[in-house]
Amino acid sequence: MDLQLASEIRYMEEISLNAWPSHKSELYDGWLIRYSHNYTYRTNSVEQVGASSIPIPQKVEFCENAYRHHKTPANFKINPLIDPSFDRMLAERGYEMRHITEVMTADLDKVHLLEGAVEEFEFGNRLGLPSSVRYSDDLVVLVQPRITDEWIAGVLHLNGTCDPALRRIVPAMYKAIPKKTIVCSIEVDGRMVASGLGICDREFIGIYAIYVSPACRRRKYARAICSALLLEGSHQGASRAYLQVVKGNANARRLYMDLGFEDFYTYWFRSKEV
């Protein structure tokens, strides 16, 4: 792989790792083992972040025992920086390829945002963020600088998270994000029907938690949320954006391409019940 491309992928992996903390994690000989009661693959998987000295089969067995203790599948993240022989070895051990994910990026000076944005500020707001971004047809995106319990509850409702353990630990995961956040939502009759989260790190804003209630789709809500996040990310000093979309989610991918995002690289997980 070209050294420049490898450096850019490593940088993106670092930023996305910062953006989404796990419930618990541990370092083991250059591998970061993350646990989150299987909430997402990213937060419940092994990532190679440093050099190894222990034989690989021994390390894989260690990770399998750890996930067995936590009663979740063992997941290993495979990105383009990982030696292909490692992926083949996991396949030979019975690991299946899961959750293929496409990383997309965009330059903020080239994105195609929903037109007609009017930023509305509350008196005394010292954080530099508007309280809302209003579009045509009375489409209003509410904007907050901090993740609140109410917003998290709305996200868990929108993505269908019902497990009591996850409803207990996921709020702490969101609140553990160490970077500046831009928190967006759309409400109808006082109920949150769409969400989005921007996470600012260096020159990037990452786009996360884009959810829309099934009853409210095809109303440009996701486009409005993403546009508001990219607009405010630019105001906060970001010059580029990234997001991650699961392969096969054609509607989301079409939206992101229309906004101006382009493919960067693909990663996946090798998963096995242990």
Residue given tokens 């260096």 in the structure block: 202
Cα(220)–Cα(189) distance, integer angstroms: 18
> Tell me, what's the pLDDT at 125?
57
Q: Helix or strand or coil: residue 62?
A: helix
Q: Where are the beta strands (DSSP E) in 73-114?
A: 74-78, 96-107
Q: Helix or strand or coil: residue 6?
A: helix
Q: Which residues contact 92 (CB under 8 A, 6 or more apart)?
A: none
Q: Could you tell me the two tokens for 201?
A: 């790190």
Where, residue-wise, is CATH 3.40.630.30 in the chain?
110-238
Helices 84-92 and 56-69 pack at an angle, to 10 degrees, of: 60
The residues of the chain scoring below 50 in pLDDT are: none
CATH number for 110-238 (one of 3.40.50.2030, 3.40.630.30, 3.50.30.40, 3.30.43.10): it is: 3.40.630.30
Contact yes or no for 113/259 (Cβ under 8 A)? yes
Q: Which residues contact 26 (CB under 8 A, 6 or more apart)?
A: 32, 33, 66
Q: Say which amino acid occupies 165.
A: A
- CB half-sphere exposure, 155, CA atoms < 13 A: 21
Residue 210 burial class via C-beta count within 10 angstroms: exposed 0-12, middle 13-18, buried 19 and up? buried
Cα(155)–Cα(148) distance, integer angstroms: 11
Kindly report whether the global pTM for this prediction surpasses the value 0.85.
yes
DSSP string, 197-232: EEEEETTEEEEEEEEE-GGGTTSSHHHHHHHHHHHH
